[in-house]
Amino acid sequence: MERVPYYELAGLEHVYLEDSYVLDIRTGLASVEFSLSVVLAEQHPLYIAPLPGEQYCYRSGMLRFRSVERVEWVERSMTPYTDSTGAVDYGNIDEFYLTDGHYCLSGDWGRLEIKSSPPLLELQEDTPVSL
């Protein structure tokens, strides 16, 4: 089976999820939502130079899977990590690809398989996030 990496999916071309932070994951009857602090690549239209002390340009965002037909938590840990400022996250999205009509995502938070319409990444345009 062919694996299509997330950065080849529409709307995800200019983000780097491996260093983005998962702030929350919500699953509903017909949706899955990842609340994120998203790393933007220089090619992204909202990119600005990283804030002082930051390695990347971060934006608050929501990765939404709508019209979900099936969601399976293959593994679920959701162990929180706290940084020196007291901010909590659940790690990164280490792997995200499309195969055989399913979106497969994994990280320290667990592993999900989702059958849905294509994901949509919504970013807050106003201000970059400082970590």
What is the distance between the alpha carbons of residues 23 and 45, in angstroms, rounded to a whole number?
23
pLDDT above 70 for 127:
no
Pairing of strands 32-40, 15-27: antiparallel
Question: Smallest Cα–Cα separation from 77: which of 109, 35, 104, 105?
Answer: 109
pTM of the model: 0.91
pLDDT at 79: 83
pLDDT at 36: 96
Q: What is the pLDDT of residues 2-35, one digit of tens each?
A: 999 999 999 999 999 999 999 999 998 899 999 9
- At 9, the amino acid letter reads L
